[in-house]
Structure 1
Amino acid sequence: MFRDIFGRRSKEYQEGQRLFEDGMAHASRFESDRAIELYTNSIAIHPNPAPYINRANLLSKRMRNFEALTDLLEAKRLDAAQSREFGAVIDREIATELLITSNYRSEIRAKLLEDLASDKINTIARKIFSTSFKVSREGYWQNSRAILEYHFFNDLDNIVKFEDISRFPEAEEYLELYGQNYIDHKIIKCPDESAYLAADITARSFLCCYPVEEYRYLRRRILWDLHQNMLHEDYGDIWSFSSEAKDTIKDFDNFNQATW
């Protein structure tokens, strides 16, 4: 809830609340750019924990996690001075962001950026993914298909809902190929929630260290690698050179047949 530290409905308070509520409306429609802008304007007019918390949530979805942590710390300070309404929520979210930004806040970030200058970005993407999900860098997944397939569609869904998808051309292509109904179907249930949460936090702890353009490319490359591997697993070597190769995984065909 939007709060006034002095308990009065000043013009600044009313305008800040209006902008905050407008931001929430845009966020509910996954119009994240506009929502972030409105939360920022609300904060400028009347600093309040609520828009800081909501902006942090959207920044975190975009893997701008250090900015999200900064917002949450400011929300905590304001909440302590005002209503103390959000304490438990803020503390929980701060704990998550501290985990994710552990590399960013240490000497590891400088090392990652050094590697970016000397190593191929495609190689870095594979290193991040293989380290986070504990799979072979050569693409051998063993028994990890279910959780990796879940990650592909879950991350695709996050990009569709929280990013500017035009900056992720592969995601645009996958959305067109599979459609939102199938994506929703694939992310209804995670095959192993605790294992996935640990892997996702690790991946984010690396990705949030990079500048925006590099982070976007790394995320795009991970999606592309995942999709290529799924197609190869489903169709074998013939998929690589056949003119009749499928663009979608086998389960998608089964889904379409079941829904006809």
Structure 2
Amino acid sequence: MGLVEEYGRERVFNTPLTEQGIVGFGIGAAAMGHTVIAEIQFADYIFPAFDQIVNEAAKYRFRSGNQHNAGKLTIRSPCMGVGHGALYHSQSVEQFFMPAAGLKVVVPRSPIQAKGLLLASIRDENPVVFLEPKILYRSSVEHVPVDDFTIPLSTAEVLQPGKDITLISWGAPLYSCVQAMEMLKNPPASIAQHVPQSVRNASVELIDLRTILPWDRKTVAESVAKTGRCVIVHEAPITAGAGAEIAAHLQQACFLNLEAPVRRIGGFDTPFPHVHETWYKPGPIQIMDGLVRSLTY
């Protein structure tokens, strides 16, 4: 709010409704040395600009032998389910960019994280896709410092230390993970019979990945090597989701430490539904069930 009045219409302006045009314009301006923050109104509509992002922005530095780059470009976009967005306004798209060397992909979980990670993204020397879980715009509340500060990219955060199982997520599903951890300790009466006493006091290590590309392999692998079990949660469909890449790496890096298969919990392999979004997104019960299955394997 107030950006036009503060900085003028030469710096803050609306563009034609063409995603490839918005990103293409941003790449050109960034290549000329300007700091560019482009907004795609919904992550679902980032696909028309996919060619510009992965074939131009991501490869610009490489193809020119570092003579030119689009590293001053940050692309913001709201993502994930909000309760009524349906198939064209609720998707998670981070997995589509994971093979795009030259890009960074970031997903914050809260207002403080959003400020620190966004400023870090803007100042990073690489183009960044910054995906903002839209349901958190009005549901996540924190007192954000007014001072300038950044949070390092590609650094996961251990939100709660644990020793029995590692739980990994990013963005909005982290709040469901916290609920699932509480539910594991004190399951509702309706499902208590399905939660063995032996796992109710399990020590769960919760990790916020924060940067999806390139992700913090060291922190995650050290955690899983310690706990021997891992559950990965994301809203995107299970098939070829970001969790698949993480699970494949952990199978290689932690094979001799694993006490159970790495379990993934995500959306169904269907388009995001018109109704009943809460059945599609991984909720606390689904996550708790994943924890129980891994702990009792």
**If each structure's helix is expressed as a fraction of its own residues, which one has the higher value?**
1
- By the TM > 0.5 criterion, same fold? no
**If each structure's strand is expressed as a fraction of its own residues, which one has the higher value?**
2
With normalisation by structure 1, the TM-score equals 0.31
Question: Which structure has the larger Rg?
Answer: 1
